[in-house]
Structure 1
Amino acid sequence: QQIQSESQQQQQSKPKPKQDQRRRPPPPSSTKPLQLTHITQDSVTGQLQIQKQEIRSNVFRPGWNQPTVSLEEYADRERAQALQRQEQQQQQQHEQDDNRPRRYEELVREELEDDIDKVDASAAMDRAWDDWKDENPRGSGNKMGDVGDRNF
């Protein structure tokens, strides 16, 4: 019992920790927005310039740029651009198809055998194909290897 009473006396005689001082209620919130005032002096005229900024309105703003258009508006723009690209590609494809040389059989099928320029282009293409076939007979690939003298 004596030991217990001594320990109780020691605990009572010790100063209380500063935890009570740290636990203060928060200051009452004011209804006015928090303002920051910058006072600077103009280097040319020497007059004081006062700028007030409301900080509270900028506290919870995100640090990145927000979107400027909605998803629906963006989708509409993308759809319009895609349709425009598709029309341009079709137009270019038609122009290329009209200008490319064709075989004479294709010209007859499309009833264009009266166009002399297209007939001449198809004849030149057929001649070039015949020349290539003459230079590269069937079966003359790299399947047999070089039969000539090899200098290893």
Structure 2
Amino acid sequence: MSDDDQPQTLKSVFASAEKKRHTLENSYEASSPTYHDDLRTAIAEYEACLEIVSRAALFSPNEFLEDLPTSSLPYLMITSHLADLHQKAPSRRPIERRVNLERARESYETFLGLLDSYDLLSEDNKKLYSRYTDDSVAFSTMGGVDPAKRRDTKIANFKAERALKQRLETLRRDPRYQDDEGDDEIVRDLHLAHAAYATHMAFQGLEGINRELEVLAQATVPLMPSPTSVEEDNRRRAEDRTAEGFTDRLEAPRRLHSMFGQPGGPLLTKEGKPLQPFTLVGNRQEMAANVFRPGHNLPTMSIDEYLEPDEDDFDKADEETMKARAWDEFVEANPKGSGNTLNRG
């Protein structure tokens, strides 16, 4: 899709959201009202960008990375930025924190699904993505329980993060990127490097979300009622029930989606647990043979074949009847005690 086909408001809304996000990253007063207002505004603007991207069909499952113009690459990062902002959202109660963490998880999954659809994941990241789809709740970048192996993995993750960050800064300082017109090749490399760095941080973020949810699951619920009024308590319960991302029902297995709505990831886990709905079908030859079959169900046996089991039952009943009659005749012909007239025992 060319730049002319893109809605004119997408660039301005995205630029405004980016400006607020950079302000939040450089702010150290997370408790100030201004910080909270900027955070809510940034989340709302990124969500507006997602709606514009969806309406404009900016990303398509039929495209390859080479088909994407350089101007569209920054919008790959929208869900990654949303995940970071959801994790920064303030929470007064554990239920609010869980909702924010689940929103961040969903944004990370959408981001990774989009990059996977454009084959932007490295081989190592593809392995991590496969491990995550197998068991998202127990996912960890430091697989295994061996302390030495976990330490080596942690060091490798730190080195990889530092290398990606250094490459990103090097590209940003390149004069060809800082030029007003900008070299398309270096700008494209910068956006792809940013996506690679965000991918690394997404897996780190998913691991952190799992660990934090484990802690929240062990949080004790206060037994004594709070000093708030009954109306306030009921209002908070209603907010918890209607909060987006919270439900008292058992959730279906999570399905990963890209930004264009296509389900991604494998169908089954290693243990055979389904991750998303699917339909079992036969081979191609069987499907082709059934194309011209009648719309109604055809009989599978003849009438004689259907009645054959009943005929076998009739024969068996006749055998039981004849056996009973023979026994009755024997009893009548041989009364009890007739064979022992001398009472010998």
TM tier relative to shorter chain: under 0.3
TM-score by length of 2: 0.12
In proportion to residue count, which structure has more strand? 1
TM-score by length of 1: 0.24
In proportion to residue count, which structure has more helix? 2
